[in-house]
A and B are shown apart, each in its own frame.
Chain A
């Protein structure tokens, strides 16, 4: 199952728009909802991505799949899975902090995001500086 670029763009666009509208309503105090409810578009989008990723990774376990095809690919998929989980952890921690469920410092909320960003920057930097030199 491979979605076309238009479908993927539409999916991202729709959920971003929904999230931003709900965020504006909450920040302008027009909607007295819980922060976890405001983040519903983010939860749905992340769940869709996670399911797609897990289905793709599970596809390797099918009989007749030649594992020599992509040892590089599985590493990439594993990194994507970790990145998704880090993003989910950041959003959950942020919601918990905003709802004041816990008395934790903001620095603990941001640790997953920093890990994700540093990982992303390393991958991007590799793509810019290393791959081009080859």
Chain B
């Protein structure tokens, strides 16, 4: 729409398949969230977040394989750069999900939403820097 798929892949650094994976995770998460919120199922918040954790795990596995293959093909610089970038993005996303889940489970006042969202703010800055580089 605003971005073509090619531009999006270039900007985010993810393969199309990984974007597809995270989209599916969002769909699964929203279904579980509705099941929990509407009272149809007795699910804990950790179970509701399973699709996101699964997508993160699969994405890490996929990235590791791609990086190893790139490394074997002699594209060492590209392999290391790709691995670092994707792992940074995924770990920031994972920390956000963990903190959010913990907040929802425990409802503690010490864990305020500014703190929970901080990985996302860092992620946004990184994405902006990458956009400048890609351009």
Residues of A within 8 A of B (CB): 4-6, 8-13, 16-17, 20, 23-24, 27-28, 49, 53, 80, 83-84, 105-107, 110, 113-114, 117-118, 120-121, 124-125, 127-128
Contacts and interface: CB of A to CB of B under 8 A. Distances in A.
Contacts of B38: 105-107
20 contacts: A5-B7, A5-B134, A6-B132, A9-B131, A12-B2, A20-B117, A20-B120, A20-B121, A23-B113, A24-B114, A27-B113, A49-B2, A83-B1, A110-B34, A114-B30, A117-B27, A118-B27, A124-B19, A124-B20, A128-B17
Interface of B: 1-3, 5, 7, 11, 16-17, 19-20, 23-24, 26-27, 30-31, 33-34, 37-38, 112-114, 117, 120-121, 124, 127-128, 131-132, 134-135
A8 B132 CA distance: 12
A128 B5 CA distance: 11
Contacts of A118: 27
B contacts with A: majority SS: helix
